[in-house]
Structure 1
């Protein structure tokens, strides 16, 4: 029996059902394998003055322990101090987790599913409980925290027993940061092919009250995702509707931009959308466009392909590992003009659906789970004395 402690500050809860859904799905796949027991610790960071914001109050009201889709999930609180650049997040996390882990059944390995602050905390806890530690990098945890908290990120990476990256590109970025190449394995995301598959476009559009050419952009409404670039691109394409699924602080700016460009009637801000409904949105679209400035390997890219929708994305993260054929879409400069040209080309000459979905074939949650278990079991075996 392999006993895994999965540690992730990026994990869904009732207040944030889409938060870290890919971590949840990976963990569910791992827990479903034979001879594998998984306990999840999903810490919740809260500032000392949490009662000033309703969002903090909602997080504070989460249960400390709950059954979540068949998993036992512990949600301890740890203190965060806004304005400090997360300097003390990892130390605070260790202090909060030590008594929690003391009360848990024995575990063989810690699987940290986000690099910061999870990674540094996992290394400290691995030393305390004498178990190996794996840390997985997903994109922003390297591209952002590797810059802001580089010393802590690098120290954790050097001390961990094994490292994972969601793409070859991210692995290269980790090596450039100073992490050891020999310990970094590529562990790609998965896709639920039973859920994400081609749908009825006419029916999906009718349900949404739209018709004609449509583009979908998926992701939090934050500058890094580049939704404004897609808004301006679609403004250059008469008759094309843009749906944006996501929520965040950029919403007012996007609303104002659409009004300024005279396309408010063609830009729909859908807000946070449950993950289970994404296939319907993708069915209603002809193209998925996401202008992220950085990514690891975005699940949204692969989910779109599995639904038969080509993608238009910049050369960010693992883009070239996903767009491996013209049918999969286009990799373009991160400008409105380039996005508009690529979207127009795909709308004018749509690739065969079967060729688009084939681009998603290398991505499987079953493969993801088996590779993760083998990786973690290997770390445990390396700590076990021979004979």
Structure 2
């Protein structure tokens, strides 16, 4: 798809290793490769990790969550937008919607798109209220929802808001690992023959890791590997110790995309127990790898895993029933035929969520004013 070349600024609430900050950088890089002039502006820093390669910058280079830095951000962002003079500002995350799009209006930017990455009910009440007002009165010229479930979360909003919403699903672009199972397990110092369940994502309450630890703790010769960093690490380690499975819980921290691809090859089953999502990139990557999936039965996961024929490309389970998770993991690890069936279904379903399709969607909304 080729549209008129645009100057596009992405505004993201903060830089971290979370999904939205990284996805914004990937989308920006893809649009730049299509000939658009692109800039990614993170309002402040929440991680000491370096910024992604490409046209990425911090509006203020520190964590301002408990400082007066918030007062500087609008003025500094205004100066950057006036200097870059974008045709369109696309905001990721609630603070970026509110601060970023108000500043975009004041800067004279004609295209202003709020990209919702999680269900809006999870926004802080003040930001949710302001987002609703701004989208209704015209501060946004377009709204992108990452899933039908996210679109449904604004069903009670005024028509002036809802008529601007367009669903743009996430898409994956990945290079498969050259490693085999044994080599990948050795690379991560994982046992050669025991069952391994993989979870990927920040160590945050949203990801519901205590349920997975509880479920796996009841299974012999079964390990839980988690790729992700966050503030809940000590609590998860304490839970594992109390359940006698410290030697079967492997918290690997944040991994590069290449390392994560290798880790997929080492594991037998992918588990995502989140209590809410927008649309999980980790889930899509696991599906594209052809991993058997067990996932929470929240609307966002159902939408991703359920095909148009009504069949599920994974096992969907309640978010609060560790017994059901234990049974499903035991059954899947113990049945090679079931694992192959789930693997084939996941890989087939993943073909619906392509990276190019996602970029097409953002290129189109960036061209609307």
Other structure's SS at 1:337 match: helix
Other-structure match for 1:30? 31
Work out the CA distance in 1 between the residues paired with 2:291 and 2:166: 29
2:329 to 343, 363, 378: 343
SS at match of 1:175: coil
Q: State the Cα distance separating 1:252 from its structure 2 match.
A: 1.3
Partner-residue secondary structure (3-state), 1:9: strand
What's the counterpart of residue 138 of structure 1?
A: 117
Compared with structure 1, are the counterparts of its residues 271 and 183 closer, same or farther at alpha carbon in structure 2 (3 Å cutoff)? same
CA contact (8 A) 1:29 1:365 kept: no
Segments of 5+ residues of structure 2 without an aligned counterpart are none
Aligned pairs, how many?
Answer: 350
Query: What residue in structure 1 maps to residue 8 of structure 2?
Result: 4
The question of whether the paired residues in 1 share the 8 Å contact of 2:14 and 2:44 is answered with: no
Contact residue 59 and residue 73 of structure 2 kept, 8 A = no
Q: TM-score, normalised by structure 2?
A: 0.86
TM-score (norm 1): 0.82
Which moved further from structure 2: 270-279 or 293-302? 270-279
Quick check: 1:123 aligned with 2:101? yes
Counterpart CA distance in 2 for 1:267 and 1:223 is 17
- Aligned ranges for residues 1-387 of structure 1 at < 5 Å? 1-11=5-15, 16=17, 20-34=21-35, 36-44=36-44, 58=48, 69=53, 71-77=54-60, 80-82=64-66, 89=70, 92-104=72-84, 106-112=85-91, 114-130=92-108, 131-139=110-118, 142-158=120-136, 159-176=139-156, 180-193=161-174, 195-196=175-176, 200-209=180-189, 210-211=191-192, 212-324=194-306, 328-334=313-319, 335-347=321-333, 348=335, 349-352=338-341, 353-377=343-367, 379-380=368-369
- On the 8 A contact 1:192/1:365 being kept in 2, the answer is yes
Q: 1:101 to 1:139 in 2, by over 3 A?
A: same
Contact 1:146 1:177 survives alignment (8 Å): no
SS of 1:220's equivalent?
coil
- Which shifted more, 22-31 or 178-187? 178-187
Q: Mean alpha-carbon deviation: is it higher for 280-289 or for 206-215? A: 206-215
Structure 1 position 81, deviation (Å): 4.9
Q: Indicate conservation of the 8 Å contact 2:10/2:24, yes or no.
A: no
> Does the aligned pair in 2 maintain the 1:10–1:19 contact within 8 Å?
no
> Relative to structure 1, is the Cα distance of residues 223 and 236 closer, same or farther in structure 2, using a 3 angstrom cutoff?
same
Deviation at 1:354, TM superposition (A): 3.4
Deviation at 1:231, TM superposition (A): 0.6
Unaligned runs of 5+ in 1: 47-54, 381-387
Q: 1:134 to 1:252 in 2, by over 3 A?
A: same
Report SS of the residue matched to 1:135.
strand
Residues 311 and 354 of structure 1, relative CA distance in 2, 3 Å threshold: closer
Distance of 1:170 and 1:40 partners within structure 2: 23
CA distance in 2 between counterparts of 1:368 and 1:283 reads 26
**C-alpha spacing 1:155/1:80, structure 2 compared with 1 (3 Å):** farther
